[in-house]
Structure 1
C-alpha cells in the first residue's frame, strides 16, 4: 500500500512538471507563429526600452542583433571602399644596381619600402594624380628656388593602396600652411566624393581610418566655424567637427568618411576633423591656374541665426554686416564695398542659396573662385534688393 502511494506521488509530480513545460513551449510557439504576426508583440531577443508607465513612451528595437551585424557589415564595406583613396608618402629608396648573374640573389630589407614606415599619408582628389596631405617636408616649407624645391620633392614617392609606387612631379603648399597638394605621375586613380558641410548632421555615424588600416567608429557631436566667433570674416572659412569617440595619436592625419564612403575630413592634433570642404577653393584654383588663391568678399558679419530676443522681431537668418574689433564692417576696396554693400545691410541669399543656421556667408563664399560674380540678396531699410558682387 505504501509503494502504491509513492507511485501516485511520483506520477503527480511528473504530470505537473511536464504540464508546466508544455505550457511554456506552447506559449513560445504561440508568440512565434500567431502573436508576432497578428498582434505585432515583441519576441525573445527584442529590446524593450519602455519606462513601464506610459504605453506610448516605449521604444522597441526589433532584431537588435541583426541591426548590429548589419552596421558592422556596413562599416567593413565602407573601409574596403575608401582604402583605395588613401595613399602613403615615403622617402625614395635608391637601389644599388647589382648584376644578378654574378651575385647570388639575396633579400636586402633596405631595398624595400616598409608599409609601416611612411612619412605621411594623404587622399586622392583627382584621377590624374593630385593628392592632398598635411605632411610637408620641413626643408620644402621655406624654400623658394624652383630647382632646390624640385630636388626636395624628388626625394619622395607616393604609394597607392595597390602598392604601386608613383613619382612626385610637384608640391604646392596651402598659404595657410596646413596642407600640401602633391602632384604625382598617375592616371585613372579612384576618387571619393567630398561631403559639404551642410550635408553633415549631429549624431551622424562616421568611420575614421588611415593608411595603416586602423578603424574607429564614432559619430558627430557638433560642427563649428572659425572657433564660433560672434563677428566673423566673410573671407575666413575654416570648419571642424567634434567627434564622440576621441581618436588616439595613431589616428592623427587619418581620415573620416560617412557610411556612403564619402570623405568628410582629416583628423588634426586636437582630435577634431578639419573638413575637406575647407580645401575646395584651393583645389579649384590649382586646377585652373596652377596656384592657390582664396576668394575675397570683403565684409565682417554676425550670423543672425544664432541671435534672438523675446521682445524683438527675430529675423532668425541672414548675415548682418557689422564692424569687427578694429571697427571695420566693409573692407575698403573690397568686393562688397565696390558693389555698394555697407554696414547694417542684412545679406539673405548668395546665388539664391539662403543663409541660415546650416549655411553661413563664409561657407558660401568659400565655394567660389576669385573672379566669380555672385548675386547677393539683402535687406536695407526694411527693403529687399539685389546686387552683383565680383569676388577678388
Structure 2
C-alpha cells in the first residue's frame, strides 16, 4: 500500500518506456512582417489557442467535480491508502495490499464530513484487489463509473485521484503512456507479489497513498486503479518520475463483481500450470530455470506428463529462468490455451504441449 509501507516495482534496465514528444508551432519567417510584429490572423490564432486552453481546464475541473466524490481514503491499522465507491450498497474496491491482513477499516469520503467504518468482504492478492463494505451508508454516496479498459489508448489524458502522502482528495494529471504492461509487485514490505497483466502505464504522479484510488479519463470514467510506481535502482530505489501502473478497469469490475456476488473469486481468468516450483541456478549461480517441486493431481502439468524434478526452461518462445519470468509469461495466456513447455529431465531437453488450467 502507498501508506507507511510503499509498494514499488523494480524495472529491469531493458524495460522500454514510451516517450511522447510535443512539438510547438514555429512562425514562417518568409511570411512574417518582422520580429515583434503581429497580424490579425496571429491574434485570432492566439485567441483560439486561449479558448482551447480554457476548454481543457474546464474539462479537468468538471471531471474532478464529478469523480472525486467517489474516491475515499482508507485507513487499515496504521497504514493508509485509497478506494473507489463501487455501488450504492456501500461496496468499495481497493488494492489487496491496502487492506493487508486487516478486517476492519476507517473510511473518509471526499467531503471529509464524517469518518465511517467498513469491513472486509474479500481480498484477492493474486490480482492485488479487494472489496470492503461500509457498515453505514451515508447520504449521497456516489458510485464511480468504470470504462471499458480495452478502449484505453496511448496519449489519452488521465487524472490520478486519491490520498498521496495522506493528503486526501488530491489529484495529479498525465497521459496514458503505454498499455498492456505485465508487471510484478515485490513481496517485501507487505506486498502481495502479484504478477498482473494488461496494466495501464501512466505519467500521472503515483505516490504513497494513491494505491487503490482512481485513474480517470476526461469522460468521468475510471480506467484503472493506481497500484505500482516504478523505482530506479541507479537512484537507490527511489521513485522513477512519471512511470506508474494501474490495474485496468475491466479486470477490476470482473473481480469486484465476483467478490460482491459470491464472497470470493470463482473465475480468475488467469492461466496456470498447476505446479509448485522454485528457481534454480546454474554452475555460475545464475538463474537458469524453474524446477517443479510438485504437481497438482489432475492439473495442467499432471495431464501433460510433467513431474517433480523437471526443470522448465521455456514457455512457448519465452525463456524461463526464474519464477517471476514464468509468472509473467503465464499472465498473458488464458485458461484452455495450448502452449509448448520445454523442460529438462535427467539432463535431456524435452518439449510437451500443455493445455493450461486456471489459477
Query: TM-score, normalized by length of structure 1?
Result: 0.48
Following TM superposition, by how much is the alpha carbon of 1:164 offset from its aligned partner in structure 2, in angstroms?
3.7
Q: Is the 8 A contact 1:296 1:334 kept in 2?
A: no
More helix by share: 1
Between the aligned partners of 2:333 and 2:135, the Cα distance in structure 1 is: 33
Q: Are 1:182 and 2:143 matched, yes or no?
A: no
Matched, 1:269 2:229: yes
How many residues are paired up?
Answer: 240
| Contact 1:256–1:273 under 8 Å retained in 2 | no
Structure 2: 5+ residue stretches without partners: 1-37, 185-193, 231-242, 275-288, 304-314, 317-329, 338-355
Instruction: Spell out the pairing of 1:1-392 with structure 2 (5 A cutoff).
Output: 42-46=41-45, 63-90=48-75, 119-134=80-95, 136=98, 140=101, 149=103, 153=104, 156-162=105-111, 163-176=113-126, 178-187=128-137, 189-211=141-163, 212-227=168-183, 237-249=196-208, 251=210, 254-263=213-222, 264-270=224-230, 271-277=243-249, 278-293=251-266, 294-297=268-271, 333=298
Contact 1:208–1:254 (Cα < 8 Å) also in 2: yes
CA shift, 1:79, in A, is: 0.6
Mapped partners of 1:267, 1:391: distance in 2? 24
Decide whether the 8 Å contact of 1:297 with 1:334 is kept in 2: no
RMSD: 4.6
Q: Corresponding residue for 1:341?
A: none
Q: Which structure's relative contact order is higher, taking Cα pairs within 8 Å and 6+ residues apart?
A: 2
Give the distance between the partners of 2:272 and 2:208, measured in 1 at CA: 38
C-alpha deviations, 1:210-252, integer Å up to 9, x for none? 2423222211111133249xxxxxx975232332354455655
Cα offset, 1:83, TM superposition? 1.0
Q: After the TM superposition, which parts of structure 1 deviate over 6 Å for at least 4 consecutive aligned residues?
A: 325-328, 335-338, 361-364, 389-392
Instruction: Pick which of 216-225 and 257-266 moved more.
Output: 216-225
**Distance of aligned partners of 1:334 and 1:279 in 2 relative to their CA distance in 1, 3 Å threshold:** farther
Change over 3 Å in CA distance of 1:297–1:67 after alignment to 2: same
Equivalent-residue separation in structure 2 for 1:288 and 1:265 (angstroms): 21
Alpha-carbon distance between aligned partners in 2 of 1:194 and 1:90, rounded to the nearest angstrom:
24
Deviates more, 1:290-299 or 1:261-270: 290-299
- Equivalent-residue separation in structure 2 for 1:252 and 1:390 (angstroms): 30
Q: Which has the larger radius of gyration?
A: 1
| 2: CA distance, partners of 1:175 / 1:254 | 17
Q: Distance in 2 between matches of 1:280 and 1:250?
A: 21
- C-alpha spacing 1:244/1:87, structure 2 compared with 1 (3 Å): closer
Unaligned runs of 5+ in 1: 1-27, 33-41, 48-61, 93-116, 142-148, 229-234, 301-324, 339-343, 346-360, 367-373, 377-388
TM-score by length of 2: 0.52
- Higher strand share goes to which structure? 2
